[in-house]
Chain A
Amino acid sequence: MNEITAGLWGLLFDGLWITVQLTVYSAALAAVVAFVIGLARTHRLWIVRFLSGAYFEIFRGTSALILMFWIFFVVPLLFGWQLVPMWAAVLALGLTYGAYGSEVVRGSVAAVAPAQREAGIALSFTSAQQLRKIILPQAWPEMVPPFNNLLIELLKGTALVSVVGVGDITREANLVRNATGDSAPVFTVILVMYFVLAFVITRGMRVVERQAKASIGQAPPKSGGITAKLGLRQQVETSQSAGGSS
């Protein structure tokens, strides 16, 4: 039984930095996938809807861990492409959480009042203009709370990369555990680290939501009492929140 020494704390903080990077890059990829697939699922051509729907069902149906295994161990064998571990992990997480995100995008876009789109047609906006100037600005505030929940799921999902050998917090924690021979302190420390990261994400997304609502002239979200402040999840309608778990 040894204390966690300064060097071991250094390992944990290296891991923390890798986790933060993974979360940011995967979130960026997931956002791109979510918007592309989500908007494609409302496209007027059936073939576009079908293909994007198939993407959604396939990537929502598989487990992120299995996809990661596949990209790490099967893609090099079958296709001969060996990806850098960090980017393979980002690819697996981004594709999976992008599929969940596409449902949020699709739902929020569908929830914009039809009269808004009709007004765009009446003003002879092109469909790109309708999307950029009318639909998305109104759909965006609706997307932020479910995106916050998905971001936390993504943060939790980054722990999976430790299984395939990327040096994130969880992997470094296992190294520290081997070095100190004591499990309880190190795992408690990293659970708290994850919780703090989740808290920071939520605070950030509350700011984003406030600005998004203000930009279309809606009142800011209510801040509630102490229990609401403690709650990292934001309440979303059941149909959206239910699908959005890893």
Chain B
Amino acid sequence: MEDTININVELQDGSRVTLEAPTDMGLSVMEVMKANELNVPAICGGMAICATCHVEVLQSGELPEPSDDEAYMLETLPHATATSRLSCQLKVKPELDGLVVRLMPEA
């Protein structure tokens, strides 16, 4: 489908799944993972305050910079890496097609 992209997620056990995500519904990557019943607590629901949707981006095109709130939260996380993101803050857009992320320990 034209308005659908693929997002690849490496799970806690190392296996990978490919999720189809619609680009026209204003969803975040976190919401797509939850809708596919992946084990992502995302307790706060997408406000960038709990980091229980923390992912490491393994492969992507250019991503928008983290907002101050997201950057600050990432800074406080013990396991964050240089490409860590909060998946609730990544909006599903055509540019994200082929994105590969790994679920992190906080998630």
Do A and B make up one complex? no
